[in-house]
Structure 1
Amino acid sequence: MYTSILVPLDGSSHAEKALTVAAQLARGTGVTLHLMTVAEFPPDNIGLFTGGTAEPFSEEDREKLAAGMKDEARKIIDQARGAVDLEGIEVEEVVRQGRPAECINEAAESLGVDAIIMGSRGVSDMRGMVFGSVSHKVSHTAGCTVITVT
């Protein structure tokens, strides 16, 4: 049925449930799971980011913040690996930086996955209510099957 599945992770319980479902589908079938996290872009202005007044944000500071965000993204993958039994399943890791829905769709296309299995809600429920959830955007724009898990 599937040969390759992308599982976006954000540290939420819904993402962990999605990984559990993906692992059940993959177990014993030779399916490759691509565990993905997206580190969003660092803000352009550190003052506004911290709730203060607008102050210049140097490129060096921006690069340090981006590196820290990528480290946090990798920790999310490690946390998911510890929470779900992936023994006997081929697993690859993908860390991208950018807008989550766009990065997920780009990764799905570049990896040639058959399906994306993701949580219906992430860690930013309030933002999702205002701007639209990542899973909603992905399900309407992906070029492959999208399975959302609640």
Structure 2
Amino acid sequence: MYDDILVPTDGSDSSTAAVEQAVAIADGEAATVHFLHVVDVGTEMSASASGSIAPQLTETLEDEAESALDDAASRAEETGIAYDQVTREGDPHEVIAAYSADHEIDLVVMGASGRSGMKERLLGSTTDRVVRTVDTSVLIARA
């Protein structure tokens, strides 16, 4: 039923639950899981990154991405399922929607809430935006 499953991951507890759900589904379907970490270049953190802070912030964001993707990949390797790891920059819901369309994703599995700043609390969650913009089914996992 599912050939390609997308899991946007940020290392949060709900993201970890999404990884677990996706791996369980992929194991039963022989599907490939695409682990995607989006570095949000529009957050207040990156907007305030000027001067000497920018390299440190970039390094921190890259480390967080690598850690989240490594954790997800470890879980996939334990089960023996096929997977890809990808890091992109941009607005998370836009990158997730574009990746989903470009890779003909059959199912998106996301955490109910992840790491977010004030912008996310005021405007709504990335998960809500993805549900409204992708053309595929979305499974929302809770921690």
In the alignment of these two chains, the number of paired residues is 139
Query: In the alignment, what sits opposite 1:76?
Result: 68
Matches within 5 A, 1:41-56: 41=41, 43-46=46-49
> Identity percentage over the alignment?
29
Q: Is the 8 A contact 2:23 2:75 kept in 1?
A: no
Distance 2:13 2:48 in 1: 31
The letter of the residue matching 1:89 is I
The letter of the residue matching 1:23 is V
Q: Is the 8 A contact 1:11 1:76 kept in 2?
A: yes
RMSD after superposition: 2.4
Change (3 A) 1:78 1:102: same
The letter of the residue matching 1:25 is I
Change (3 A) 1:85 1:14: farther
* 1:7 Cα deviation from its structure 2 partner: 0.3
In structure 1, which of residues 110, 125, 132 is the aligned counterpart of residue 102 of structure 2?
A: 110
Change (3 A) 1:44 1:149: closer
Distance 1:88 1:21 in 2: 15
- Structure 1's consecutive aligned runs of 4 or more residues displaced over 6 angstroms after TM superposition are none
* 1:88 Cα deviation from its structure 2 partner: 1.5
Query: In the alignment, what sits opposite 1:34?
Result: 34
TM-score under structure 2 length normalisation: 0.83
TM-score under structure 1 length normalisation: 0.80
Unaligned runs of 5+ in 2: none
More helix as a share of residues: 2
Matched, 1:140 2:132: yes
Distance 2:123 2:77 in 1: 33
Change (3 A) 1:31 1:131: same
Query: Which one is further off, 130-139 or 34-43?
Result: 34-43
The letter of the residue matching 1:22 is A
Please list the CA deviations of residues 75-117 of structure 1 after superposition, one character each: whole Å capped at 9, or x if unmatched: 1111233467642100100110111111111111111111100
Distance 1:15 1:28 in 2: 20
The letter of the residue matching 2:73 is R
